[in-house]
Structure 1
Amino acid sequence: MQYVKKEYKRFNKTSYRSFILGGDIGGTNTNLGIFGVKNKSPTLLLSFHFKSKELKGLHEAINMVLKYMQGYRISITKASIGAAGVLSTKKELITVTNLKWHVNKKSLIKKTKLKKIILLNDFEAIGYGVNTLSKKDVKIVKKAKKIPKAPIVVIGAGTGFGKTTLFYNDQHKSYIPMPSEGGHIDFAPKNKDELGLANFIKKYRRIKQSISYQQVLSGSGLENIYVYLRKRFNKTKYTKEIDKSANKAMLISKYRKVDRTCKAVFEIFKKFYGTAAKDYAVDALSYGGIYISGGIAAKNNDIFDKTFIKNFYDSPQMKEVVLKTPVYVILDYNIGLLGAGFAGARFL
């Protein structure tokens, strides 16, 4: 089992009052972290990064990490795990998107030495992570006076598209995210070309119903837009490579500054991002800010430019709302893992 280990801080068994395991699980990557806890405040000490599809189940990665911690003579029995997928009403199962295996609380307790587990939707975990952010962890896209304790919305494109709304809780003195599958809200074309794209995606992906934001704001969304535009431009050495690749989104992102087709894809992509951010800002009156997460945003944060802002402002009846809403890009790759650790330290 291959993995990458990262160390953030030296520690020993007596450095913290307790230790917990945090998890950030997606269709592509499985990230596990060891947190030291003092006064319900978590510190990320170690992280372990696996490829999800190389695992037979989450228990494999967890058992490896727990065994590794035995080298420090530390036994960990508590975990907080966020995963990309639908969380059951009893919060005992997450059906992970794009994976053959799922996150099952009872199964993990049976197959590992864990005794107490919190399960979170991936964007719920990212929402908790917002509580841990410092100025260096974000890029300001649009300035506005942030209203203390006002609602916050987190959105993000990655393997899929996610969204959560955060409300401040005075008892816990932190923001609490609401579980959501808001990334599956219907995508509404605004002109003839966008309608053409929507109809193309339905045919290309064999979708009989309406399409959602996830079909245009995600890795597969980049591919959908690319394939739709492909015949409008001449072939290049870049498009030939993309056409043969199983991971088109990664290459479209890589060549977006040198290839005309890829540039055109991102022009459309950032328009949709601006529109989505506006829609969710108006929905939640998020005067605490719109926070944009996900690997696509972090790796391509310069796409949040005048085009994005123009589409964010495109709300004639609610212009005052969007004008007063700050927008940030989250730069910390570990935000979901940090959020899982934060929730575990507070509630386990």
Structure 2
Amino acid sequence: MSVKITSVAKQLPKFYRETKDIIPFVQLWMQGQETRFQRKVIKLFEGAGVDKRYSIMDPEEVFTATSFQDKNDIYKREVTELAEKALQKSLDKAALKPTDIDYIISVSCTGIMIPSVDAYLINSLGMRQDIVRLPVTEMGCAAGVSGIIYAKNFLKANPNKRAAVIAVEAPTATFQLDDYSMTNIVSAAIFGDGASAVILSSYEEDKGPKIIDEAMYHFYDATNMMGFKLVNTGLQMILDKAVPQKIADHFPAIVHPFLEKNNLSIAAIDHLIFHPGGKKIVQTVEDLFGVLGKNINDTKEVLRLYGNMSSATVLYVLERFMDKNPAPNTYGLMLSFGPGFSAQRILLKW
């Protein structure tokens, strides 16, 4: 009995701006800062590899001194709507009804909701009362892949069931108005908001790439490299500049043993479905894969069009591959990194 990914669908927030249109807001925000610092920040935004990003808030709201409660109220309202639309789209793609889902996993780390967003979806979409829920919260950018891993394990143990994984993130709600650190600025330059939903199935008749294997890889002594710090004004980004080098150092141990366990080498992988964490991380991984004769063009394009949407982003990359209808018997490797520090991997076969 195999587990397959049957559909993926994204949903974008209503607000969006091209980077060139956001820079005037950034300049206004930086009034009073040193001229040299201001030039450095503008150059960073212009060189981040993100042409446009979407947001649950208009830029005026992002650059306004709203409280943590105000921002979180907006987060709760908007991500619930985004999650519902993404899930409905993925159900429509798979020709399924909400009551066809046996297991629902919601993924988000950029706001706080209790109950989690999946509880609201059960009501708004009229899902089954005996559906099994699993909220995944504090795993950051890696959580989209983590959610698929958890769904796969549930379905592997339960034939003839279906699962939905909904990743919905709003990093713009974490922007710190009084924080002029490079971490806060880099975060603002690369992150955007978005949602995506994935349907998985253990029905033999359902179509889609099979999940051949999955694994997590945990870096020792790296818990301080990535995450959020809860402060009075909200969730303050933690992002160590050493992350790209850390990935490069561990890359062989992350990729090659995982593939060898499945009697494969990187040469056998046709589709690289990689999470675009940011320009430097993308360049690091592109250099590593480039040496092996592979490209991550779809990853770069998702970063350019939408920015890093935390856990949802790798699912945007996955949707691009799914929509191409890859040839049978081709392999895909999903890869993402997140707080912990950890790497999540999934091997797919079409």
- Scaled by the length of structure 2, the TM-score of the pair is 0.33
Q: Rg: which structure is higher?
A: 1
Q: Which has the higher contact order (CA 8 A, sep 6+)?
A: 2
- Scaled by the length of structure 1, the TM-score of the pair is 0.33
